[in-house]
Amino acid sequence: MKEIKVDAMGDQCPIPVIKTKKALKEITEASLVEVHVDNEIAVQNLSKMAKQKNLEYTCEKIEDQHYVIKIKAELEDISSQESNIMENNQTEVCYPDRKTNTVVVLSSNKMGEGSEELGQILMKGFVFALTELDELPSTVLLYNSGVKLSTTGSNSIEDLKTLQAQGVEILSCGTCLNYYDLADKLEVGEVTNMYFILEKMSQADKIIRP
């Protein structure tokens, strides 16, 4: 698969979307379009564009003010989009920050009581569903066995990275990481403490606990 890099660092909306659409229109074979941007709004708008075109994509925060969105496109996917002759005349729209002052609390790596296997499947689905919300939470707090979701071996790592790339804070309890011997296996987000967890919860407009 051909790899195409789009440098949109320093570009403000709607330039990253315009550059990416141009790259997609010029592909002549199955391609992976890798877009580099430096702001969360660009990530949100590129994600929205990929969804609208039914294209597979991933988002990753490389470092502060450096995000990478990878969009996988087959030639037939793009051809079908070109059937809409009005597309070239559409005005690119900047969408505002999707985050709300909502805190999601994940105190376990499984959802509900009963079967542990089913509980883990449900939690995987819950974390994925967070990435699809029209309004994203501001913070995801992980403590007790919930920290297992943000560490090596978790099947929710990519979904949490997608949230982080769109500006959502992913915070895992340091005491909990140490207890489960996972301090050196954190894959996404940052380490926090119980005081900061309490502070985040007390300042939230809404708290969601699965």
Give the pLDDT confidence of 164-194 residue by residue, as tens digits.
888 899 999 999 999 999 999 999 999 999 9
Give the CATH number of the domain where residue 146 resides. 3.40.1260.10
The answer on 80 and 128 residing in a single domain is no
Nearest to 148 by CA among 173, 128, 118: 173
Which ranges of the chain have pLDDT less than 50? 83-90
Find residue 3's DSSP bridge partners: 32
Q: What's the rounded Cα separation, in Å, for the pair 155 and 160?
A: 10
Tell me: do 85 and 123 sit in the same domain. no
Q: What is the pLDDT of residue 13?
A: 76
Strands in 169-173's sheet, in edge-to-edge order, are: 190-192, 169-173, 139-142, 102-106, 206-208
- Report the Cα 80 to chain-centroid distance in Å: 26
Q: How many domains does the chain have?
A: 2
In a domain, 95, yes or no: no
Instruction: Let me know if 115 is exposed, middle or buried by CB neighbors in 10 A (0-12, 13-18, 19+).
Output: exposed
**Helices vs strands, H then E, count in the chain:** 7, 9
Instruction: Please state the pTM of the whole predicted model.
Output: 0.65
Q: Over the stretch 76-100, which tens digit does the pLDDT of each residue have? A: 655 555 544 344 444 555 655 667 8
What is the pLDDT at residue 88?
A: 45
Q: Quick one: pLDDT at residue 76?
A: 63
Q: Do residue 195 and residue 129 come from a single domain?
A: yes
Among candidate residues 17, 55, 14, 56, the one with its CA nearest the CA of residue 35: 17
Residues 80 and 158 in one domain: no
The secondary structure of residue 158, as a DSSP letter, is: H
Helix boundaries (H) for the chain: 15-25, 40-52, 75-82, 116-131, 157-165, 174-179, 194-203
Q: Is the dihedral of CA 9, 47, 132, 116 positive or negative?
A: negative
